[in-house]
Structure 1
Amino acid sequence: MSYNLITILGPTAVGKTKLAALLANHFDGEIISADSRQVYKRMNIGTGKDLEDYIINGKKIPYYLIDIVEPTEEFNLFLFNEYFYKAFNDITSRNKIPFLVGGTGLYLHSILKGYKLNKVEFSKEKYEELDKLSIEELRERLIKVNPKLHNTTDLLEKDRIIRAIIISEAENNFNEHPEIRSLTIGINPGREKIKERITERLKYRLENGMIEEVEKLVAEGITFDKLEFFGLEYKYIGMYLKCELNYNDMFQKLNSAIQQFAKRQMTWFRKMEREGIKIHWLEEADFDAAKKIIEDNYFA
């Protein structure tokens, strides 16, 4: 198989970013992040951006999908795919190797399995434009855009016909993307080592500005509900700032939650393997071992 992407995946705290940067530096590549929270600006410590990891021998490795939206804005799977393919096309157009790096299972899965996603917008203008048509005209339009319509109840109510037309037209207009053929490398040091590293890393981050980072977000107007939406570090530090948890309880609950999160990440990767996605597993973020996998497969 001729590959056009290298994916580095694994649970949290295993050293994916540093390894990817070393490999991208060696193979003249650029990095696309697959992390659902690193897209947000000013959420640095809690999301583990570790931007210094992208600097190799004084050279900054280009990266994408980090610091691209405000914490007040929505980010979702559709937008991730939109940004990914834009970055992928840009990188490959310059004959560089794209490296997809991260641990958000759904985001990785959507690329490696080639999801076809559409942005469905129920805009007021679009709805009003369709609402001017008679119910018979709407039925004809719906059957034209969706000849295989199974649910005939969509043809009975005007509102449902209009919504069905909007969805069907979006499905007929999804963006065609290049086929992704990924050489995928996974890092899994084992559950006990991952747990130890999560605990060590959490202690370090709490002592080096993570609480202050969350305080600044609150000061700029990010609500505690939004912090809960961001989950993990933001959720539990938010509870600590609201005095719902003392420091020790916050640490214990957050540490346990991150460990459970790492377990769920591994569940995603095992699911991907069952679906036929080949993952070359390494026990550690070993540059030489990963380099050999790439030399033996990507350039074969």
Structure 2
Amino acid sequence: LPILCGGTGLYIESVLKGYNLMPVPENPDLRANLAQKSLPELTEILSSYKVLHNTTDVDTVKRAIRAIEIEEYYRLHPTEARAFPEIRSLVIGVDIERDLRRNKITKRLRQRLDEGMIDEIKGLLDEGIPAEDLIYYGLEYKYLTRYVLGELTYEEMFRGLETAIHQFAKRQMTWFRGMERRGIKINWLDAGWPMEQKIGQIKDWLLQ
């Protein structure tokens, strides 16, 4: 019985719906043409390809150029529809009250910082990994790298990262609701249930 656990809603939906995703190679000529453009200019170019639902594709120049590179490749290499076998799936989500989710995120962030996440970033920089490459990956890498470089105070780093993770979690929940509207049934477990009750409910769903 294969189990796909965790990841973003997009990853789960791409498997269940058989998304036809292509690997996109680097385009040196396109990158050279875009290299001197500002982030607002790149954002405008990207918006000519697609509707920008959030800013995660364009929060850095490097991300924006890669997003344009992908859209341009898809424009020149349209994907053909492929038939995928139907997947009989049981999709289970954990339904957690918003304030409790926010508290858990903040507690987990403090724990990760206390357990050496800053030293991990310092180590990566000491090994020669360019700061812009770490910032490219967003969230923790972005904020902690800027803190280690002295661009943010500890408080600015923590509050900025905390807010960004809260926003990310909110977008994830929005995506899950969209999956339901697109026909994927999600069976929601109450996060407050005891573990035994959660396991019992899942067993019941599996037997249906």
Q: What amino acid is aligned across from residue 123 of structure 2 in structure 1?
A: K
**Paired position in structure 2 for 1:136:** none
Q: CA deviation at 1:122?
A: 9.0
SS at match of 1:187: strand
More strand by share: 1
**Structure 1 pair 273–204 and aligned structure 2 pair: CA distance change class (3 A):** same
- Alignment partner for residue 9 of structure 2, among 101, 105, 108? 105
5+ long unaligned stretches in structure 1: 1-96, 124-162
SS at match of 2:5: strand
**Structure 1 pair 192–240 and aligned structure 2 pair: CA distance change class (3 A):** same
Aligned counterparts of 2:134 and 2:199: Cα–Cα separation in 1: 39
- Alignment partner for residue 255 of structure 1, among 162, 179, 196? 162
**Structure 1 pair 220–290 and aligned structure 2 pair: CA distance change class (3 A):** same
Map 1:1-300; keep pairs closer than 5 Å: 97-119=1-23, 167=77, 171=80, 178-284=85-191, 286-300=194-208
**Structure 1 pair 290–180 and aligned structure 2 pair: CA distance change class (3 A):** farther
Aligned counterparts of 2:26 and 2:128: Cα–Cα separation in 1: 29
Aligned counterparts of 1:299 and 1:217: Cα–Cα separation in 2: 48
Q: CA deviation at 1:189?
A: 1.4
Q: What amino acid is aligned across from residue 193 of structure 1 in structure 2?
A: L
Q: CA deviation at 1:108?
A: 1.4
CA-atom RMSD, angstroms?
2.7
Q: CA deviation at 1:288?
A: 2.7
SS at match of 1:115: coil
SS at match of 1:282: strand
Deviates more, 1:280-289 or 1:246-255: 280-289
**In 2, are the aligned partners of 1:114 and 1:180 still within 8 Å (CA)?**
no
TM-score normalized with structure 1 length: 0.48
The structure having more radius of gyration, on CA atoms, is 1
Q: Which has the higher contact order (CA 8 A, sep 6+)?
A: 1
**In 2, are the aligned partners of 1:232 and 1:254 still within 8 Å (CA)?**
yes
Aligned counterparts of 1:181 and 1:286: Cα–Cα separation in 2: 28
Aligned counterparts of 2:126 and 2:141: Cα–Cα separation in 1: 14
More helix by share: 2
Aligned length: 161
Q: What amino acid is aligned across from residue 188 of structure 1 in structure 2?
A: D
Deviates more, 1:245-254 or 1:97-106: 97-106
Deviates more, 1:213-222 or 1:253-262: 213-222
Q: CA deviation at 1:286?
A: 4.6
5+ long unaligned stretches in structure 2: 28-72
SS at match of 1:293: helix
**Paired position in structure 2 for 1:159:** none
Q: CA deviation at 1:103?
A: 3.7
Aligned counterparts of 2:194 and 2:187: Cα–Cα separation in 1: 12
String of CA shifts for 1:40-80, please: whole Å, max 9, x gaps: xxxxxxxxxxxxxxxxxxxxxxxxxxxxxxxxxxxxxxxxx
Aligned counterparts of 1:280 and 1:199: Cα–Cα separation in 2: 26
Aligned counterparts of 1:101 and 1:283: Cα–Cα separation in 2: 17
TM-score normalized with structure 2 length: 0.68
**Structure 1 pair 288–232 and aligned structure 2 pair: CA distance change class (3 A):** same
